[in-house]
Chain A
């Protein structure tokens, strides 16, 4: 059973790396596929950027002329989940710049045309023909790369300390909805680094990370202000990465000597969300430090980080690995492995720009020796929130096939969301030859309701009750109390439960309603509560192990 403590994460990363003979591949990385654009790139044009999302990918190829006359947008499509990918369409876009925002079947690209106004061009993929068509253009002044999320187009204007949000109407036209302005006038360039996911916008700014969330009125008020933990500060020039209710951010030790990726979970409370800090993977635990400049791309709680030094069994920097870092068991960040080589990589190319959507890793590669000038390399890689147990099968598929893998019905595998520390493990097997154990699964946050006590190894069909008490708890070495119970103080109890034919009994143990002899109460932050199940074992009482969980 894991103990959710931040300082363990770095040690875990070290332990993992220490067991590597060389940089090992992530367990569920598929083979790379090299795909050339639909129309051959013009001479001297370089593919500088790719964005992948779902079954679509769009790349931008830039010519060498100052006006960008040779700029092309290249579309790719995944024919089936996991590939193959094919090139479907290429079209010129004069002055196309920066990254391509892509969400589902919609894309937004900034362009600077010396003969016209600057604008953000919106494209939509036509469901009937499968081709991308321009559907709208928003005139802009001086903005950074646009972002898309659902019907929202987000335009960061750090020079104006402002983020503008446009909303798509049913007609396909976009209209201005709201602006978010800097909460802190002391620091400039608000909106310089941000990410958009669902109805949230996360902005790194000065000492904090701000999370804004759209309300039903169409306003985007501040939801959370995340502070750095004492051991680090935010690297405010790198992008926050928000997806699936998790935030990944590049952080630096307070003395600035080391970098790492920190992960938070956003959990819902009565007045919005809270951010639970789960840990950091420091670069010291990897086979090489992080690349100087490039931060990660991340989705589905998995960050892809380019490293600085060759560590793939050769000194050739063309094979410098990408580290794959994600939320692991108990939500502690871990290193899943290293990506060392692209498809049929005859030699080095300039594989500078990476995109990742939680299912597919896409890399724009130009001037790859042995291959035509520009290509996108695609590989399947399931993210940590899609495949938390890293068995290369999506968790939702596993849960649909075997519902008992998610007994607290929160959509996540019980095996990877165990909380707290186990103690008071029974010394002898019970009447059915099992050592009965207890697990507490779910979210250890005081406003969530998916926390569940789950007992295994009980006699089938037996009855029992789950008991709960506030720590301090006796140590396992101490004499056990009546029935082998290790809880003490004011012990509360839940309604009786009956074990199923598989010897499993469960009961929800929400932290907002903890039973005590004096009635139900709320748990408070940083309290440690312990649970244990007492049951009838033939003609005598028996007890499972106990679990202590610190409330967050």
Chain B
């Protein structure tokens, strides 16, 4: 190890550090365009819907939509704290509460999809074709493995609502609360060959990687509407309004209708008409 090599290695490190600092200051001080922050749920982002919907809007308005994909609970908390300009979530009762408290304004119904109950093909709890709450009752009575999101997300809230309707309090060895996203939960349900409640979109997008079947679908309780709400304290309310208008426009709604994954439509446009399923 001679002194020249040492010296050149030092120089490379210094150059890298300087370049990175220069790069950071450049990107911090010369923002290319206006930006707004959209806090949304993992289901809309992870399915690829937003990457498909937003570029048109961004080009049209010369704005950048920065998407932060978190659980519905966290997205709503971000709205309360003023850390997002607009949110797209799926928990009607929390959405109405947010507006009522004054943190959110102008809630509009964008689209819906539905939840399904999936499980192993042999269906040992015999739930196929039942109503959602009857299916949960059979799972409970047979102590079949059930994987719960356990994270206060929109999906978890829907699950609790169904347990409530069945008049049961789940718990015990068979009831596994994972505290993770939908993808994680599906992965675990697949590994354990258990039952779970999932939104159809995430299920379809992972169809080639999991071997669980849809056993219950079509029950009205299982509808899953998404709403967009502007954050009251946003400094970019003009752009937030524009984004909300875009998603509700004919163009936006038709695009939602046309979005397919693995050949299956994932979301259905609501065109502003709210489906108020009780939550």
> Are A and B physically bound partners?
no
Taking beta carbons and an 8 Å cutoff, which residues of A are in contact with B? none
Taking beta carbons and an 8 Å cutoff, which residues of B are in contact with A? none
